[in-house]
Amino acid sequence: MAMLLGALTTVPSGKSQDATALSLTPTMLPADGTIGHVGDVYALTVNIVNASDLWALQFRIAFAPYTSVLGISNLQEGPFLSEGGWWPTFFTYTIDAFHGYADVAIVRLPNPEFPGEKYGAWGDGVLATFNMNVVEAGISPVAIENVILLDTTGAQMPNTATGSNYYGSSASLLRIVGVGMGYDDTPTKRAKVGQTFHWNQLVENLGDLPLYVRVRFDITREEDGRYIRLYSGQTYLDGAFGEDPSTTDYIYVNGYTGTYATWGWNYTGTAPYLNAVNDGSYVWCDGSSMGMIPENLNWYPTTGRYDFEDYAIPEGRAISSVVLQAYTRYSTPDEDMDLDTYMRDAAEAPPSTWIGSLWGNVLYEWVSPRWVTDDLTVFIPDLATQTGINAARVRFIMYWTADDLPHQTAWVDAMRMAVSTLPARFGVEGEPTAKRIDPGKEVAMHHAAFYSPLPNQVGTYHVTATIEYTYAFLRWNSYGSPQRAFTFTISP
């Protein structure tokens, strides 16, 4: 499209004439002034008035993006440039529903009956027709943009463009009732560290169908630009606005029971073997010996059991993840060999749980089990408790090969668990909540709240509140409803 019109563009026209005008009809959807609904289809026409020697053109039909309110279909060329079929034309278009537009280009082509001659189109007519399909509640412009009109010399023509507007069911954020302390609805915009506060919202359904409505709060701290987003029904807890509040501690092997000590693995140094890097104690296996695992009766070299140091969960924090790490090496990269690793929960009740496969490269490095998620609490939720983490142990490690043949040597020099914690009250609590609102009704939404701010949350916060609504649950929209803004402060 750009090549077609760009090649024809030379210099702006110096002709003195009234501007050519493009427009959409109807200028309002629905045309009778009622409210549109999901499933409605509207036929629109792109018109041109006062064209003079028009040879080529392009324009964009712009509407709400993300297929959030409208979709476009059945885009076809009108008869104006072809003059009802008397002139050949080239018509092309591109629809980008994600960004909300359709680009159209039409070029009149030379007529074989008039070799070497170029005649443009004059007057008024229809350039294109298309349908707008309503897919969700909302309001959306349907605009004509990026218009380029070229005459037979390649000069641009002055032009104007007028679009249309679609009006469907929508909702309005009437007001923020106020920032309240302690859920007593006392209006205030000041809070202190440790004081829970919240704000309410009053919304209205402006349409003629039931809508589901929620309110979004975009909050920025003035002092450092840190940002969070809250919805009605949610509570912000701890986390200092984007700073990483996680901490990671390592607990190492401190005991070796040796349940499978003679089954195919070799032991260098002294037990517990895997408690320190490069201390001269390690285990290794080349897969040439076979051993039996009673739990599944498969014959593979096996070593275990490994216990870990005790760990005290810091006060006011909770375990967020536990990741097993081993300091390993392997003779050559080999994905046909795994060091299958099994654990049990605090009660040591069978069966053992496979938590993935340790592995290695030609140089020693810390690795975590592959093929599965890193977080062991997914497999053994009890590991996130004080009792569970202190009872954690690797029951056994099995040298497994895909082809059941001996492979190269694997070494395990050390093993540890990376225990990550977060504040016990961290991030945003609760899912965004929405309320059903019947046509013409006003409803007070669920609180959005700050829970007991910490000293590192002292500052001035600027808030923009935006209503979001939906009918078909395809997209939460906010078109056609003004935002509300307010500021609050947290002081020591």
Q: For the segment 309-358, what is each residue's pLDDT rounded down to a tens digit? A: 999 998 778 899 999 999 999 877 666 678 889 887 656 666 778 889 99
Give 124 or 397, the one with higher predicted confidence. 124
pLDDT of residue 448: 85
**Which is higher by pLDDT, 302 or 439?**
439
Q: How far apart (Å, rounded) are the C-alpha atoms in residues 231 and 79? A: 50
Compute the C-alpha angle 41/43/44, nearest 5°: 135
Of 56-60, 389-393, 441-445, 446-450, which range is least confident?
446-450
Identify the pLDDT of residue 352.
79
Residue 239 or 443, more confident: 443
Signed CA dihedral, 394, 395, 401, 406: sign only: positive
b/e code 93-109 from CB counts within 10 Å (16+ = b) = bebebeebbbbbbbbbe
* Per-residue pLDDT at 105: 97
pLDDT at 174 over 70: yes
> What is the CB neighbour count within 10 angstroms for residue 374?
16
Phi–psi pair at 475, nearest 5 degrees: -155, 135
Architecture of domain 247-423: Sandwich (2.60)
Residue 296 has a pLDDT of 44
Res. 457: pLDDT tops 90: no
pLDDT at 8 over 50: no
- Alpha-carbon span 430 to 398, nearest angstrom: 42
Sign of the Cα torsion 292, 293, 297, 298 reads negative
Q: For position 362, what pLDDT does the model report?
A: 87
Instruction: Evaluate the CA torsion angle 279, 400, 303, 313 in order and state its sign.
Output: positive
Amino acid at the residue 324: L
Model confidence at 38, pLDDT cuts 50, 70, 90, reads very high
Fold assignment, 2-167: Immunoglobulin-like (2.60.40)
Region 246-252: mean pLDDT is 92
Contacts of 149 (CB under 8 A, 6+ apart): 20, 51, 54, 56, 57, 156, 157, 159
pLDDT (0 to 100) of residue 30:
97
Rounded Cα–Cα distance for residues 228 and 226 (Å): 7
Predicted confidence band of residue 156 (pLDDT cuts 50, 70, 90): very high
Write out the two tokens for 84.
């009802």
pLDDT above 80: residue 221: yes
- If you count them, how many residues does the chain have? 492
Nearest to 45 by CA among 74, 20, 84: 74
Spell out the domain ranges in the chain.
2-167, 171-243+426-491, 247-423
Q: Is the pLDDT of residue 289 over 60?
A: no
Highest mean pLDDT, choosing among 97-106, 228-237, 300-309, 477-486: 97-106
Q: Hey, do 2-167 and 171-243+426-491 end up sharing a CATH topology, with the first three levels equal?
A: yes
pLDDT at 14 over 80: no
Q: With a cut of 90, say whether residue 180 has pLDDT above it.
A: no
**Residue 178: predicted pLDDT:** 58
- Say what the pLDDT of residue 294 is: 45
Q: Answer positive or negative: Cα dihedral of 8, 9, 11, 13.
A: positive
Look up residue 485 and give its amino acid.
A
401 versus 373: which is more confidently predicted? 373
| Res. 276: pLDDT tops 70 | yes
Range name among 50-59, 170-179, 228-237, 257-266 with the lowest pLDDT average? 257-266
- Confidence (pLDDT) at 241: 58
Q: What CA–CA distance (Å, rounded) separates 437 from 325?
A: 52
Asked if 422 and 314 count as a contact pair (C-beta separation under 8 A), the reply is no
Instruction: Please give the residue that has the higher pLDDT: either 298 or 29.
Output: 29
Whole-number mean pLDDT of the chain? 85
Reported as a single tens digit per residue, the pLDDT across 347-367 is 666 677 888 999 888 899 999
pLDDT of residue 292: 46
Longest distance between any two alpha carbons in the chain, whole Å: 100
The burial of 454, by beta-carbon neighbours within 10 Å (0-12 exposed, 13-18 middle, 19 or more buried), is given as: middle
CA 256 to chain CA centroid, nearest Å: 45
Task: Work out the number of other CB atoms within 10 angstroms of the CB of residue 316.
Answer: 10
pLDDT, position 16: 41
How far is 488 from 249, CA to CA, in rounded Å? 37
Residue 152, both tokens: 């037979």
User: 12-21, 24-33, 445-454 — which is least confidently predicted?
Assistant: 12-21
Angstrom distance (rounded) from CA 305 to CA 303: 7
| Per-residue pLDDT at 177 | 65
Query: Which of 167-181, 190-204, 216-230, 366-380 shows the lowest per-residue confidence on average (mean pLDDT)?
Result: 167-181
pLDDT band at 227 (very low <50, low <70, confident <90, very high): confident
pLDDT tens-place string over residues 113-135 = 777 788 899 999 999 999 999 99
Residue pLDDT, tens place only, 57-99? 999 999 999 889 999 999 999 999 998 778 899 999 999 999 9
Provide the 3-class DSSP secondary structure of residue 127: strand
CB of 239 within 8 A of CB of 67? no
DSSP string, 214-280: EEEEEEEETTT--EEEEETT-EE-BS-TT----EEEEEEEEEE--TTTTSS-EEESSTT-SSSTTSS
Tokens 């053992």 label which residue?
Answer: 352
Taking the model in full, what pTM does it have? 0.61
The string over 201-222, giving b where at least 16 C-beta atoms fall within 10 Å of a residue's C-beta and e elsewhere, is bebbbbbeeebbbbbbbebbbe
Cα 207 to Cα 37, 169, 453, 471, 480: the distances in Å are 9, 4, 39, 10, 12
Once rounded to an integer, what is the mean pLDDT over residues 214-237? 90
- Cα–Cα distance for residue pair 25/327, rounded to 1 Å: 71
Conformation bin of residue 296: beta by default, left when phi > 0, alpha when psi is -120 to 50: alpha
Cα separation values, 471 from 29, 63, 438, Å: 18, 19, 11
The answer on pLDDT for 186 being more than 50 is no
pLDDT at 316: 72
State residue 162's pLDDT score: 97
Three-state SS for 8?
helix
Q: Under a CB-based contact definition with an 8 Å cutoff, are residues 193 and 454 in contact?
A: yes
Architecture per CATH, domain 171-243+426-491, reads as Sandwich (2.60)
